[in-house]
A and B are shown apart, each in its own frame.
Chain A
Amino acid sequence: MSRRRFLVVLTAALAALGTAAGEIRRILRELAVPEQAGGLPDAPPGPLDPAVLATLVASSRAVIGEPVETSHYAAYFQWRASHLRGYRAVYTEFHRAVDRDARRLAGRPFPACPPGVQRDVLSRLQARARSRWGRLLLGGLPWARYERYILQEALALFARTDAWVLLGYDGWPGVPQGLLRYQQAPRPVAPHR
């Protein structure tokens, strides 16, 4: 073996060893430590790809499971991706993970799946992320981060907006209501609520 060839092989072997050591450390960590939500990655803000945005909005609808006006969810995700560090990266990672499973399960992009399939995709990913062995198979997918920064935020936005209308209000705080309606009787409460 020439000296040059020896150095190439040695470098490749060391790199492989380093990667394997990193993977071994990850596996040990996943087995030892319960899943943590973690913070946002330090990544620059920027506009969202339309496919990512579509996945986020579809995921919001799926987790909320009630009729909603989707435009303000899209505006919400777009604003946070464009203004706050880390969100765009998390949104994009989430899109990749969810879309991959949707294609595997239903053979189409996540937003094009029926709501039942969408919920199934999300709950399968969640269940796998919550199991230690599942996290190993997912390759360290930070599902808790997705829950915290996407799904819980979508529910919080729902609580501040559409939930009010579903409970019988004319609108929600942030939308001007004028100074007459509040003086009048509200519309009747929906019987199933």
Chain B
Amino acid sequence: MRDPAVCIVGSGIVGTAIAYVLTTHGYEVDVFEKGPEYPYPHTPQFRERVLYGYENPAYAVPGDLQGLELSGSYRRDLDHERHMIVGGAATHWGAITLRMRPQDFATRTLYGFGEDWPVTYRELEPYYGRAEALLGVSGTDDDNPFAPPRSQPYPLPPFPLSYEDRILAERLGSRGIVLHTTPQAATRLDFGDRPACQNFGACDVCPIGARYSPNEHLRLALGTGRCRLYVRTSVRRLVADPRGRVVALLTRPGNGDREEEHSARLVVLAGGAIETARLLLLSSRDRHPDGIPLSDHVGRHLTFHHLWTGRLTYREPMYPGRIGRFTGQSHQFLDPPGRGRHGGIKVEFSANIVPPPPHPPEEAASGADVLALLGPTRYQRMLTLHAETAPSPGRFVTLGSTRDRFGDPYAHVHYELTDFDEETYRFGRTLFERIARATGAEDAVLEPVESFYSGGHHMGTCRMGRDRRDSVADSLGAVHGCQNLFVAGGALFVGPAGVNPTLTMVALAIRTADALMAGYLRSPR
């Protein structure tokens, strides 16, 4: 049997980054993905979805392999935010790639909420630079006075503000609010194998690979001949020896009737915050004599981002939607004076039109009806408040009572809004009204607090820390009490800050890969 150096569970942006770094340094890696193949570049998906209006069921996990139980305040379809396919959730992401700020790593010390991270911005800064180089980030800090310090420039120049964002930026600037460009993993110019963005306007299925997709580095890893990808394969649990060393993964092909055992020198769990916690809980020594000894922090400290979207209507046409990318946003309120009583907020003007084009336009019986429905959206802009929250005892992942095809319990997610969040919403609503006034909006409607959306950002279920009394893993992701088991990705986050998490996830993943090569995997096989 093949004996890879590293088994990676999950083929998303974090798993593929680690696979790419390791395989290009000579290590053999096996990647396990529960979901199906997802073609890259996403040209077939682009054709199916954009040209022919078809959602191909071949790109979905069977219903009896994906599921979760949800309780508490969250009203959205959390299960399907996860995109269990080869490439993971970042096959569909907006590709906004922001660094956290130095203060975000010390919220307990500086603001009295959450916990401090066991790693500082200064330690992570070089890895942020490498993550930006890996993903091909286009951006600048020249117009953003709130950007954290950096030791190297962005790999690519920024996407300039759109015409309508420039108008809003002028109006906001005269009222003391800075609207600046958005760093993003989309190619402003040709970058390696990836061509420059041509503005197809359908970025979630970018047909040319201009918007970064994890499948890019998975393809490169597979090209080394040292990476093997197991698709439609569920990792059911980890098996450990009495010392807590993981010796095997028990897997089950989706269509298989037999369990398989994969031996492992080292295992990295990169299946997203919810599934990673679930797999650890399924593998606990409490459930199996040959299970792994776990900190009781597994599954606790779950956080999302809280996104509230508002609609601003103007007298003059804004023509949103002329570029698929995000252009204007403001980081001015990530670290406001009241931080601690409430969270920081990133302000984001969306490029999309509102509401989305009716599909199908059920209220429409003619082209004139469609034009009447869509016409007003030219005068509108969507504004999203992308808010920070804090871990709370009312948010966690446990094992549920419903089970998948193999009889394994699905995750149960419980998520409650807190007083901190209500205060953050009040702060955000005041900010929204201020922006509406500053930009001359004739009408401004913000969705209510309970309509918050996670942004698909699920974090904190295996947070990093000093030891198993306060956390699940150390700052490299090494699980406390297990000698060869690592967690990677958003599950490790100590706090969510107010910015999109993916760049930090990739930076941490590269740091983990470096540590594996420097210490845990001394010699290539």
A residues touching B (Cβ–Cβ < 8 Å)? 63-66, 68, 72, 75-76, 79-80, 83-84, 148, 152-153, 155-160, 162-164, 166-170, 172-179, 181-186, 189, 193
22 A–B pairs (Cβ distance < 8 Å), ordered by A: A63-B367, A64-B366, A66-B371, A76-B51, A156-B357, A157-B53, A160-B357, A167-B371, A167-B378, A168-B319, A173-B50, A173-B324, A174-B200, A174-B201, A174-B202, A175-B200, A179-B188, A183-B163, A183-B166, A184-B163, A193-B371, A193-B375
Q: Which residues of A contact B159 (CB under 8 A)?
A: 179
Tell me the nearest residue of chain B to A189, going by C-beta: B317
Give every chain A residue within 8 A of B365 (Cβ-Cβ).
Answer: 63, 155
A153 to B361, CA, bound (A): 9
* Binary CB contact string for chain B from 359 to 378 against chain A (1 if under 8 A, 0 otherwise): 11110111111110111001
Known contacts being A152-B362, A159-B359, A166-B371, is A75 close to B51, with CB within 8 Å?
yes
Q: Is the CB of A182 within 8 A of B51?
A: no
List chain A residues, Cβ under 8 A from B324. Answer: 173
**Complex: how many Å from CA A80 to CA B324?**
26
Name B362's closest neighbour in chain A (CB-CB): A152
Q: How far is the CA of A68 from the CA of B46 in the complex (A)?
A: 22
Interface: B161 (CB within 8 A): yes
Interface residues on B, range: 35 or more
Contacts of A168 in B (CB 8 A): 317, 319, 378
Question: Of residues 20 to 71 in B, which have CB atoms within 8 Å of A's CB atoms?
Answer: 46, 50-54
Centre residue among A75, A148, A178 by max chain B CB count within 10 A: A178
A155 in contact with B361 given A179-B197, A183-B161, A189-B378 (CB within 8 Å): yes
Give the docked Cα–Cα distance between A159 and B361 (Å).
8
Q: How far is the CA of A185 from the CA of B319 in the complex (A)?
A: 9
Let me know if B254 is at the binding interface, CB within 8 A: no
B251 in the interface, Cβ–Cβ < 8 Å? no
A-B pairs, 7 with minimum CB distance:
A173-B201, A66-B367, A64-B367, A176-B198, A182-B322, A182-B323, A156-B360
Q: Is B321 engaged at the interface, CB distance under 8 Å to the other chain?
A: yes
Which residues of B in the span 372-417 have a Cβ within 8 Å of any Cβ on A?
Answer: 373-375, 378
B273-328 contacts to A (CB < 8 Å): 317, 319, 321-324
Nearest-Cβ distance from residue A96 to partner chain B, whole angstroms: 24
| Tally of A-B Cβ pairs under 8 angstroms | 136
Residues in chain B near residue A157, CB distance under 8 A: 53
8 Å CB contact of B53 from A148, A160, A186: A160
What's the least CB distance linking A179 to chain B, in Å? Answer: 6
A-contacting residues, B101-140, CB 8 Å: none
User: Which residues of the other chain, A, contact B321 by a CB distance below 8 angstroms?
Assistant: 164, 169, 173
A166-B371, A168-B378, A179-B323 given; A152·B200 CB < 8 A: no
- B162: CB under 8 A from chain A? yes
- The verdict on B481 contacting chain A, using a C-beta distance below 8 Å, is no
A183 to B159, CA, bound (A): 10
Q: A167-B378, A184-B163 are in contact. Are A173 and B200 (CB under 8 A)?
A: yes
Minimum Cβ distance to chain B for residue A152 (Å): 4
Pair A172/B367 contact, Cβ less than 8 Å: no
Known A75-B51, A152-B360; contact A66-B368, beta-carbon cutoff 8 A: yes
- Report chain A residues within 8 Å CB of B199: 176-179, 182
Contacts of A182 in B (CB 8 A): 162-163, 199, 322-323
Distance (Å) between the CB of B60 and the closest chain A CB?
16
Q: Which residues from chain B contact A178 at a C-beta distance below 8 Å? A: 198-199
Chain A hits for B369, CB < 8 A: 155
Distance in angstroms between the alpha carbons of A182 and B358 in the assembled complex: 23
B440: chain A residues at CB < 8 Å are: none
Give every chain B residue within 8 A of A163 (Cβ-Cβ).
Answer: 357, 367, 370-371, 374
B203 closest partner in A (C-beta): A173
Q: Which residues of A contact B455 (CB under 8 A)?
A: none
B94 at the interface (CB under 8 A from A): no
CA of A80 to CA of B317, assembled, Å: 36
Apart from A76-B53, A163-B374, A166-B371, what 18 extra A-B contacts exist at CB < 8 Å?
Answer: A65-B367, A83-B54, A155-B360, A155-B370, A156-B357, A156-B361, A159-B357, A159-B374, A160-B50, A160-B53, A166-B367, A169-B322, A173-B201, A173-B324, A176-B200, A179-B188, A183-B166, A186-B319
Contact assessment for A156 and B53 in the assembled complex, using a CB-CB cutoff below 8 Å:
yes
CB distance from A59 to the nearest CB of B (A): 13
For A152, give the chain B residue with the smallest CB separation.
Answer: B360
B188: which A residues are within 8 A, CB to CB? 179
State how many angstroms separate the Cβ of A68 from the closest Cβ of chain B: 8
Q: How far is the CB of B201 from chain A (nearest CB, A)?
A: 3
B253 at the interface (CB under 8 A from A): no
B358 and A156 within 8 A (CB): yes
- Smallest CB separation, B372 vs chain A (Å): 9
A184 to B322, CA, bound (A): 10
| A residues in contact with B357, CB < 8 Å | 156, 159-160, 163
Q: How far is the CA of A8 from the CA of B321 in the complex (A)?
A: 71
Q: Give the chain A neighbours of B323 by CB distance below 8 A.
A: 177, 179, 182
Instruction: Tell me which residues across on chain A come within 8 A of B374, comparing CB atoms.
Output: 159, 163-164, 167
Q: Which residue of B lies closest to A61 (CB)?
A: B367
CB B427 to nearest CB in A, in angstroms, measures 32
**Does the CB pair A160–B322 fall under 8 Å?**
no
The answer on a CB contact under 8 Å between B367 and A183 is: no
CA distance A164 to B172 in the complex (A): 28
- 1/0 per residue, CB under 8 A from A, across B170-199: the answer is 000000000000000000100000001111
Q: Provide the residues of chain A in CB contact with B202, threshold 8 Å.
A: 173-174
In the assembly, what is the distance between CA of A65 and CA of B366, in Å? 7
Q: Is the CB of A153 within 8 A of B51?
A: no
- Closest residue of chain B to A187 (Cβ to Cβ) is B319
Do A186 and B322 form a contact, CB below 8 Å, given A64-B367, A66-B367, A174-B202? yes
List residues of chain A with CB within 8 A of the CB of B166.
183
**B370 in contact with A158 (CB, 8 Å):** yes
Taking CB as reference atom, which chain A residue is nearest B359? A156
Please indicate the chain A residues that have their CB under 8 angstroms from the CB of B160 in the complex: 179, 183
Contacts of A170 in B (CB 8 A): 322
